[in-house]
């Protein structure tokens, strides 16, 4: 098996990885041939596009100024003559427009051939030279890298505890997490009742898709369905809220601020309007302040009991054909499959599953940088969003482009 070398290895080829590479090249163009990106698809933004297609998402939640190019106005310029594909408020781009824009960004920065078609299956400090990393690929090849950026999302699908206790055998497609559902593959759900658990925007997309295929939908959330334009207030994009966040030195307090700002998921006003219309037409029923207490697979349907009989007519009498969980992910860096070897060599502090990184989003003790949800204790509540990628770049790019900020230099006595 072959072994190669690179200066900067980027794991993942989604929007945050693309944001990182364009921002690095803007600052230091000569790094172009010293960056390698690894993704099983071999192309940019593939998983992103598949997820949007799977849930039939027509438009982004982020405004037009949030995207992977360093020029904030680039998307609006690209959309000239296509303004109908920018949706109010804040000119949120349609999915197709955004994908075509990202394709243009890849071409503009000449990154078409930068993605190696392989998954990274192991990441470890190299025994012969601990200041290097060794990446083992799904092809069996290995790569030695001086710096590594983990930009591949993260988190395990969250399922409520009662699911783990189910004893009866049931068809797997009848109980799914949102990330397993491909709406285009479901031709018809006519005559079926689908229970969707969760109060975020994903639950809305799945509900619309199920009704479109003829299903009746029950939407269940632990609290009232929340309506918000963005999943965190716009003040979290700049100094209005971030100044106080960065002034807080207690990482537990920061974690709490992140939780409160994101507040467990919400629906956009446009989606809520759509769902209420479907409710009036008799296609959707809302069950709020409610959770599943128990579910039994009986014959070919679920019998579901909720934990709040007093608040509404319990769904126990309704045969439920499918249960879909739009319940997000659980983040615990300690159980990240790629980081076991790093953890052993460089154990670090964590707060409720999130790593405490240095100010450059670097794993203390080595030249590994983390983006996306893992950066939330430094970047704030929007860490996983498109603009979170830009905020992460503001911290990571200087450490990748200035020799004086490398870990080795910064920590030499």
Q: How far is 230 from 221, CA to CA, in rounded Å?
A: 19
Give the model's pLDDT for residue 308: 80
Question: CA nearest 55: which of 176, 220, 231, 174?
Answer: 176
349 within 8 A of 251, measured Cβ to Cβ:
yes
Give the β-pairing of 92-93 and 115-117.
Answer: unpaired
Count CA within 13 A, CB hemisphere, residue 314. Answer: 15
Give the model's pLDDT for residue 406: 73
340 has which bridge partners? none
Which pair of tokens denotes residue 245? 């966040």
Give the model's pLDDT for residue 413: 32
3-155+330-410 placed in CATH 3.50.50.60: yes
Over the chain (413 residues), what is each successive 10-residue block's mean pLDDT? 95 98 98 97 97 98 97 98 96 98 98 97 93 97 98 90 89 97 98 98 98 98 95 94 97 97 93 98 95 93 87 81 96 95 97 98 97 98 97 98 72 39
Q: Where in the chain is the domain with CATH 3.50.50.60?
A: 3-155+330-410, 158-231+266-328
Q: Is 306 exposed, middle or buried (0-12, 13-18, 19+ CB in 10 A)?
A: buried
Would you identify the CATH topology of the domain 158-231+266-328? FAD/NAD(P)-binding domain (3.50.50)
Give the model's pLDDT for residue 148: 98
């Amino acid at each position: 098996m072959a072994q190669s070398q690179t200066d900067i290895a980027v794991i993942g080829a989604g929007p945050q990885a693309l944001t990182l590479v364009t921002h690095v090249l803007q600052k230091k163009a000569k790094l172009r041939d010293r960056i390698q990106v690894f993704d099983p698809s071999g192309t940019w933004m593939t998983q992103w596009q598949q997820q949007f297609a799977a849930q039939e998402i027509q438009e982004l939640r982020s405004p037009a100024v949030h995207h992977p190019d360093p020029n904030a106005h680039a998307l609006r310029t690209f959309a000239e003559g296509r303004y109908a594909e920018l949706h109010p408020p804040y000119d949120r781009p349609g999915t197709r427009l955004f994908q075509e824009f990202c394709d243009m960004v890849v071409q503009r920065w000449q990154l078409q051939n930068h993605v190696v078609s392989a998954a990274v299956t192991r990441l470890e400090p190299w025994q012969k030279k601990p200041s290097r990393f060794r990446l083992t690929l799904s092809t069996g090849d290995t790569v030695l890298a001086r710096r590594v950026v983990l930009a591949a999302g993260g988190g395990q699908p969250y399922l409520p505890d009662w699911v783990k206790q189910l004893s009866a055998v049931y068809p797997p497609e009848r109980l799914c997490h949102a990330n397993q559902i491909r709406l285009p593959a479901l031709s018809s759900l006519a005559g079926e009742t689908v229970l969707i658990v969760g109060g975020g925007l994903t639950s809305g997309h799945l509900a619309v898709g199920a009704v479109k295929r003829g299903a009746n939908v029950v939407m269940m959330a632990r609290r009232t369905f929340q309506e918000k334009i963005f999943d965190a207030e716009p003040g979290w994009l700049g100094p209005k809220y971030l100044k106080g966040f960065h002034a807080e030195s207690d990482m537990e307090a920061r974690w709490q601020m992140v939780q409160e700002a994101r507040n467990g998921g919400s629906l956009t006003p446009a989606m809520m309007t759509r769902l209420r219309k479907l409710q009036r037409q008799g296609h959707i029923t809302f069950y709020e302040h409610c959770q599943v207490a128990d579910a039994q697979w009986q014959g070919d349907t679920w019998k579901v009991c909720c934990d709040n009989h007093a608040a509404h007519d319990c769904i126990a009498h309704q045969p439920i054909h499918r249960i879909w969980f739009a319940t997000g992910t659980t983040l615990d860096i300690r159980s990240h499959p790629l980081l076991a070897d790093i953890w052993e060599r460089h154990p670090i502090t964590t707060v409720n599953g999130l790593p405490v990184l240095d100010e450059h989003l670097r794993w203390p003790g080595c030249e590994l940088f983390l983006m996306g949800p893992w950066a939330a204790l430094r970047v704030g509540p929007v860490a996983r969003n498109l603009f979170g990628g830009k905020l992460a770049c503001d911290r990571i790019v200087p450490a990748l482009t200035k020799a004086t900020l490398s870990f080795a230099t910064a920590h030499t006595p």
